[in-house]
């Protein structure tokens, strides 16, 4: 995921570049919610359990919830089933992710059991060009000023 994010920021994908990204703590529900609220997304890497990717079935029909026995056996995280998905919304019970071309719910328990990488991604597409802010009020110009101040201070301290 990190290689893709670096490439997306420097080179772009499909003619679109992201402005920045930051790694979050996997399984930290508060950070995931904040990323979705502030940046409109949370980019998640999951080690899907085998039951979620049974060949010959419609993956969208399989609920992304942890089974009653927990994440063990066929429900254990499987790194061979690695999958990257953007979460674009949430409520008290679920994250809402885009996977296999469709919107799908993922329970918070599923996120906590199977997420192994999580990033907040800042895209200029989320910023209203006339206002310079996102729907949540995030201000891109203020971030750039803050980053300049921080990096200038670090450069001066290192000199």
Residue 66 is predicted with a pLDDT of 97
Can you give the pTM of this predicted structure?
0.84
Q: Are 4 and 117 in contact (CB under 8 A)?
A: no
The whole-number pLDDT of residue 149 equals 85
2-126 classified as CATH 3.40.50.300: no
What is the SS3 assignment for 85?
strand
Domain ranges of the chain: 2-126, 130-159
Residues 28-37 pLDDT 10s:
999 999 999 9
Contact 30, 118 (CB under 8 A): no
Q: What is the mean pLDDT of each run of 10 residues along the chain (159 residues)?
A: 93 90 93 94 96 88 93 95 96 96 96 96 82 80 80 60
């Amino acid at each position: 995921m990190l290689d893709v994010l670096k490439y997306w920021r420097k080179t772009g994908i499909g003619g679109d570049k992201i402005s920045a990204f930051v790694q979050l703590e996997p399984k930290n529900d508060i950070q995931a919610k904040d990323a979705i609220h502030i940046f409109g997304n949370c980019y998640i890497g999951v080690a899907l359990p085998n039951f979620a990717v049974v060949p010959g079935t419609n993956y969208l029909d399989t609920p992304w919830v942890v089974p009653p026995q927990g994440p063990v056996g066929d429900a254990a995280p499987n790194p061979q089933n690695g999958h990257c998905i953007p979460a674009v919304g949430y409520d008290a019970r679920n994250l809402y992710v885009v996977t296999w071309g469709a919107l799908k719910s993922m329970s918070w328990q599923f996120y906590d059991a199977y997420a192994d990488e999580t990033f907040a991604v800042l895209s200029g597409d989320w910023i209203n060009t006339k206002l310079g802010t996102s729907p949540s009020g995030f201000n891109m110009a203020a971030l750039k000023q803050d980053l300049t101040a921080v990096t200038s201070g670090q450069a001066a301290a290192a000199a």
